[in-house]
Every structure is written in C-alpha cells, then in structure tokens.
Structure 1
Amino acid sequence: MQFLLLAVVTMTAIIAGTNWIAEDVAEDEAVAEARNTTVVLANSVALPAMDRRLLRAQAGAIDRFRDLTEQGLLIDNPETVRINVWLADGTLVFSDLGALSGAPFELSSDHRRVLREGGTGYAVADEDDPENAGTNFDEQLVRVYTPLVVDDQPVLFEAYFSLDRIEQRREEILAPFRWITIGSLAGLLVIVTPILWLLTRRLTRAGEERERLLVHAADASDAERRRIARDLHDGVVQDIAGTTFSVTALSRDPAVPEPARQTLDGAGDSLRDSLRALRSLLAEIHPPDLHADGLEPALNDLVAPAANAGIQASVDVSGIEGASDASVALVWRVAQEAVRNALRHSDATTVAVTVHSVDSRLRLEVVDDGVGFDPAVSGPDRYGLKGLRSLVKDIGGEIDVISAPGAGTTVRMEVAQQ
C-alpha cells in the first residue's frame, strides 16, 4: 500500500510539474500563433492596400484602405478585434475606430524597438492609453505589432486580439499533451510499482536476514561465553579453590617447620590472587545475572580490576527497572569494551560508569580522564567498539565516542528500554 501511495504522490507531482511547464509552452505557442497571424495579415492583406496617400492620412485613402481591408482583416479573422497603422513619429494614420485616424500619439519603447529591429512585439492593451479611447474592453485585449515598409517609409501594423481567445487556443494546444502525460505516467505507474515493490521487498528481506544473522551471532557468542565460563568455574576455579584451602590448612599444621609455613603462606596468597583474577575474568566473559536487577553487580565486577591498576572506578545504575534483557545485555557488552579499553590503554586515574533511563531509553556513559585519542585515527584498541556499532544500530540504538588527545574519553550509548 505504501508503494502505491508513494507512486501516486510521485505521479501527481510529476503531472503538476509537467502541466506547469506545458502551460507555459502552450501559452507561448498560442501567442506565437497570434504573432504569426499578425505578420500574415500585415503582409498579405494590409501591405498591398497601402500607398503614399494613406501615409499622408488623406481622407479618401483612409476610406479606401478600410474598404479594401475590412473584410480580410476583421470579418474573415474573428480573432482580430482592432487594427492600427502607425508611422514612426507616432501618428496613427489608420484606425478601425475612424475618429482616431490621423491623430498623433506617443509610441511605446517596444513599438520603437520593433520599428527599429523588426520582428514582432506583444503587449496587453491598457484601456487608459489614449489610442485605445472608444475600444470595447468587455474582454481583455492584447496588441501584436510588426513593421512594414511602404514607399521606403517604415510603418507599424498592429492588430488587437482577445486574450480569452488566446487562452482558449492555449487550452486547445495543451489538452492533448495533458492526456498524453497522464496516460504515460499511469502506464509507468502500473509497470514500475510492482517492480519497486519487488525490489524493496527483497531489500527488506535482506535487511531482516542480516539482522537475524547478527542476533544469531550474538546469541552464539553468548552461548559460547556461558560454556567457557561454566567450564572454567566447574574446572579450573574449583581446582584452584580446593588447592588454596589445602595449602592454607597445611600452613597451619604445627608440625610444619617455619620456613615451609612461610612458603605455604606465600603460595596461598598467590593462589587467592589468581582465584580473584579468574572470578573477575568469569564475570567479564559472562555475568551470571545479566538482567535489570543484576546489571549493577555485573558492572561492579567488570570494574573490579581497576583497583589493582590504581584506578578509581565507580558505577551508578538507576531507573532501569523493567528494562528488557536484550537491552541490558547490549549495555553490558558496550560497557565491557569501553571499560576494557580504559583500563588497558587510557592511563586514566578515574573511570565512571553510569546507566540511567532517559525518555524510555537506556543511556550508558563510560567516562575516563585518560590520555584520550583522535577518533578519526583507527587503532587496535578501537576495533571492539567499531564491531559493536553495527549491532547497536541494527537494534535501533545509537553509540558515540567522544575524545581528543589529552582530554579523556566518553563512550555514550542509547538503546530502547524495552
């Protein structure tokens, strides 16, 4: 349905644009016909009836010109409303309104231009112009004029046309093109819409498949992390814990000599340190309770190694009750990568991890005061975050890394809470 709607909107816009262009073209063509009609009437009807006596505005010559041309200029051409013949000095030597014949007027600049350069001129008739006194303006008129030469003297032949008739002619010219345009676009709509729908459907399916593969990869990664964490917990961690208890018990046996007891105490301390490191590693590989209530403890386990590195770390989680497990898992993954980079590469003294709810979205911020870096320059420590960008984007989240040399680093991520 949305493709059909888009196609209809597009077709409407194209039709409107095409119609607007076609109207201008049709109007130009209608005016061009009026210009051509004026030139034909001037040369085939008016010019043969002109002579020197007409140019001198002699009464008999004017009457004779009217008798010779009235049929051809006005009666046989219903588009023609009025006729004027001008001299270069502005004298109206002939007008179909007899009272104006022989009267002097001021030629317009365009009249003079056409007399000088040739061609045709076009202007809307103004009823306030003195040469239009007595003209019937029940409908708007346009004036079209072209030059002639009579006995080596330039004159200007001018015909008045009804603007309504020109508009009518424009519509007659435009109508076939309008239907051709609509028909062509309608046919194009019928042909293209199914193709667009099919292509878009394929793209949608490809996007859905890509998202499914990403989710599957993330799920597979989680499953592998759980397996590794379980194997370590049930195997190596339990073995080290048992060994630690045995060594500690042995060091407390009164029968053990002092030098051996000191050695056993050192070994017990080393085993306990290794056990804590392994438990932190297990939490990093896969927290046991990765949901809204368990996110804060998981993040605390995540930043626990900071103390051994001399870094002051803090975790602040609030307002995430009811957040989905998928959103919490994504927050934890991004936090894990950001904290890991901060502890390993930033030379920071403080790392702050905050998770809050903002407008039904979870916002994670991991801020350190370390050496920072230029985000435009790739580095091996940024590959993990780059790999998460696609996953965050596909889930509808946003992730941004803000940093500069010497200014620390802020990793900010937002994702829907549900």
Structure 2
Amino acid sequence: MRVLRNPILQFLAVGLVTVAAIVVGTSYLAGDAASQEAVAEARDTTRLVARTIVAPQFQPGLLNTSPSSIDRMDRTVIHLLKIGDISHCVLLDSTGRVLYADDISRINSRVQLDAAHRRVLREGGTGARRVEEGQAGPSGLPGYRATGPQLLTWTRIRPQNSEPVLFEAYFSLGQVDNRQQAISSSFRWISVGPLLLLMVVVTVMLRLLTRQLTRAGEERERLLRSAIDASDAERRRIARDLHDGVVQDLAGTAFSVSALARDPAVPEENRTSLQVAARSLRAGLKSLRSLLAEIHPPDLRAAGLAAALTDLTAPAAGAGIRATVRVDGVEGASDERVALVWRVAQEAVRNALRHSAATTLTVTVCQESGVLHLEVNDDGVGFDPAGAGGPDSFGLRGLRSLVDDAGGTLEVRSSPGSGTRVCMEVDAR
C-alpha cells in the first residue's frame, strides 16, 4: 500500500474523507429536518386555508347538508384544488359525520374519528399523517382510496354559532417531497459550502507554510554543510601546517639526537640522556602523527578507510587498550559516505579512549546489500544513555543530524559495567 508523503496530499485526503463523512451525516440530518419542515409547511398551509378561506365560507346549513351551503363551499374548494397543493378537502363534525367533501357522494357518510383527530378537535392545533397508495384515510372516509402517496393534515375551525368542526386536507407527497428536497439542498450547501471553502483556504495556507518550512530546511542543510566544509578546510590547514612544520622539525631533531647518542666522542653519561631524549621525541612524534590522523586523515576514500581507522586507533596502545580494525567490502561506497563513517568512528573511538577504561576496542565496517554497517565496541565501564552526562552527550548527538540527513540510523547501546556499542547504518551511495 502506497503511503502519501506529501503533507498537502495527506491533508487533502483526510479533508476529502472528512467532507464526505460530513456530507453523508448532514444529508441524513438535513433530510430528516427537511422532511419535518415540509410537513410543518403543509400543516401551516392547512391551518391558514382553514382560517382564512374555509371558515369564512362555512354556513350553518352545512350542518344540515343544505344544498346551497354545499354548493357555496364547493365553489370555494374548487379554487383551492386548482392551486395545486391540496388534492382533496373534507369537513367533519365531532361525531365523525362528513359535512362536506370534494367528492359529493361522500357527504353525510360517517367515519370513526381516531384519538389524534379528537385531540385536535378538542384542543386545537394541527395533525398530519402519511397515507400510502390504496390506503384509506386515517379517518376511515368510506370509499376513499389514495391514488398515490399523500400527506393528510387536519385542523379545527370554529364557525359562528356552531360547534367546532375538523377540516382535512390531502397533499400530494410528490409536492411535499419536492419541497423537502429544496429545503435539504439549502441545508446541504449551508453546511458543505463553508467546509469546502475552509478546506481550500487551509490548503493554500498549508502550501505556503510547507514552502516556507522547506526553504528553512534547505537553508539549514546548506548552513550545516557549509559549516562542515569550513571545519574540514580548517582541519586540513592545521594538519598541513603541523605536518610541514612541527612534525618535520621533531623528526629532524629526533634523528639528530639519535645520531649524537651514537657518537663515541660523547661521554657515556651524556649518551644515556640523549638516548632517553631520542625515545621521548620519537614517542611524541608518534603521538603527534596520530593526532594529525585524527584531525584530518590523509585519504578518506573507500580504499584508504582501513588505514585511516588504523591511524585513528593507534593511540589506544599507549592507553593500554588492544585495538582491532576490520574493514570488508566497502568498495564502491561514495566518498561522502566513507567520510561519514569515519566521523562517527572518530567520535566513538575518542569517547572510548577517554572515558571507557576498556581493555579491548574493535572497529568493524562492512557492506551488505548496499548498506554500510559500522560498529565500535569496547568492554569498558559503560554508562546510562538516558543520563544527561553520557560520553556521547554532545559529540555523537551532534552527528545524529548528519546521519539522519543521509537517511541512516545511529544507535548507542550501553549500560553501566557492560561496555558500549555504537552502531550506524547508511546507504553506501
């Protein structure tokens, strides 16, 4: 499975999934809210029609099924039906008798009012219920079957000098559903629109921030490499000046003192002192050459890595430590990677010589499947890597960023009394 590395692509992927989840959730909630709102609008329409149109046209003669009263109401209802929202109208008294219906053949029939109808008749308000195709109305209007899914609403009207009566209105659910979809679409755009806009704005801001961070990282890497190059140049200068100056002078002085110590003309007691001085000069010269190799090795390439590491561990003999160097299969490694291996080995060996009190020290470099492996082991006193004062507090920790930038790993394993192992892995190229 491919993992997205670009943070902007990751944000877009998460954002799209989030928006999709929100769209699904809001669609469900908006659909439910829109359905309730569409039904509420139908109920409000029923109440408005009942109070402003039907109630003013209601005549007491309807209670006695007067033809003239029925005709007057019929002319009023015909206009209502032409509006298109209401498909059928019915007036019922408190006993369930049909006082008026747009189908005149239903007038004077009697139905059984349910609890919802009686409650509205008694307390007022409105009621609503869905009627499926072929189903009789909830009030059980004889002979009536819905020709399609409809919404039945009812409310109470109070004619003058008459008991309250019920006004029922049937709405086509197709029209109600259209209104529901219109309301739902409004909710959807209200909820999703700002999210999409916010996502676009955040994406642009994230792009700008990512570009700034990338530039800052590139600048940091450039400064770090410049510092390394400057450090290498300074190391080369110091090593060159010491080699061409002090080392040559000490070498010449050591030869001269050794030659003088062998001169028969020199008194015996002076000859002994000269021999001690010559040995001291040779030891100092050897230490100085090891220091020069540590400051800057003469050949930091794959072919010269073994010799550079051998020179690096040369001072171990003077500290009573038996040092071993093994370099296998590093041919083909880039000079940059070889230099990184040497820097890490240099810091690890320096820590071992200064702090470990070890008796053995091994440096191993090998290459497996295009990966360079470095291990520096000692059998010294060890330390707690979690402690603040460990030998690698500054040196190796300072190299971790270089190893990380090269795509490698650097690990220090140690514990008090168990020695120290420094391990690094990095691509050979």
What is the TM-score when the length of structure 1 is the normalising length?
Answer: 0.70
Q: Secondary structure at the match of 1:250?
A: helix
Do the aligned partners of residues 285 and 5 (structure 1) sit closer, same or farther apart at CA in structure 2, a change above 3 Å counting? Answer: closer
**In structure 2, how many angstroms separate the alpha carbons of the residues matched to 1:122 and 1:362?**
79
C-alpha deviation, 1:244, in angstroms: 1.6
Shift of 1:380: 6.6
Corresponding pairs, count? 401
Report the more deviating stretch, 316-325 or 216-225: 316-325
The 3 A distance-change label for structure 1 pair 121 and 26 is farther
**Alpha-carbon distance between aligned partners in 1 of 2:220 and 2:309, rounded to the nearest angstrom:** 30
More divergent stretch after superposition (313-322 vs 163-172):
163-172
Given that residues 365 and 411 in structure 1 are in contact (C-alpha distance below 8 angstroms), is that contact kept between their aligned partners in structure 2? yes
Match of 2:399 among 388, 396, 407: 388
* 1:231 corresponding residue in structure 2: 241
Asked whether the 8 Å contact 2:323–2:361 carries over to 1, the reply is yes
Q: How far 1:8 sits from its partner (Å)?
A: 7.2
After TM superposition, give the deviation of residue 229 of structure 1 in Å.
0.8
Which whole-Å CA distance do the structure 2 matches of 1:83 and 1:351 have between them? 103
Corresponding position: 1:408 with 2:408: no
Contact 2:34 2:183 in 1 (8 A): no
CA distance in structure 2 between the partners assigned to 1:311 and 1:381 by the alignment: 20
1:235-250 counterparts in 2 under 5 A?
235-250=245-260
Q: Partner of 1:221 in structure 2?
A: 231
Deviations 1:129-153 (A, max 9, x none): 9999997697xx5978899899xxx
**Partner residue in 2 for 1:33:** 38
The one-letter amino acid of 1:389's match is R
SS at match of 1:284: helix
CA apart distance, 1:224:
0.8
Partner of 2:327: 317
* CA distance in structure 1 between the partners assigned to 2:373 and 2:264 by the alignment: 57
| Amino acid in the other structure paired with 2:377 | V
Q: Distance in 1 between matches of 2:371 and 2:85?
A: 73
Contact 1:26 1:170 in 2 (8 A): no
1:174 to 163, 185, 192: 185
Q: Does 1:290 align with 2:294?
A: no
Change (3 A) 1:167 1:406: farther
Structure with bigger gyration radius: 2
Pairing 1:19-58 to 2, within 5 Å after superposition: 19-20=23-24, 22-27=26-31, 28-38=33-43, 41=46, 45=50
Counterparts in 2 of 1:229 and 1:162: CA distance versus 1, 3 Å: same
Pair 1:332 & 2:342 matched: yes
Query: Structure 1: any 5+ residue segments left out of the alignment?
Result: 50-59, 86-91
Query: Are the equivalent residues in 2 in contact too, given 1:22–1:174 (CA < 8 A)?
Result: no
Give 2:236's aligned amino acid: R
Between the aligned partners of 1:142 and 1:354, the Cα distance in structure 2 is 87
Say yes or no: does 1:357 pair with 2:367: yes
Bigger shift: residues 171-180 or 361-370:
171-180
Distance in structure 2 (CA, Å) of the matches to 1:18 and 1:265: 91
**Alignment partner, residue 52 of structure 1:** none
Q: Which amino acid aligns with 1:35?
A: A
Deviation, 1:381, is 5.1
Partner Cα separation in structure 2 for residue 239 and residue 226 of structure 1: 19
Q: In structure 2, the residue corresponding to 1:207 is in which secondary structure?
A: helix
2:385 maps to what in 1?
A: 374
- Match 2:218 to one of 208, 214, 217: 208
Displacement of 1:287 = 0.4
Aligned partner letter, 1:336: Q
Pair 75,202 (structure 1): closer, same or farther in 2 beyond 3 Å: same
Contact in 2 for aligned 1:396/1:416 (Cα 8 Å):
yes
**Residues in 2 aligned to 1:120 and 1:386: alpha-carbon distance in whole angstroms:** 78
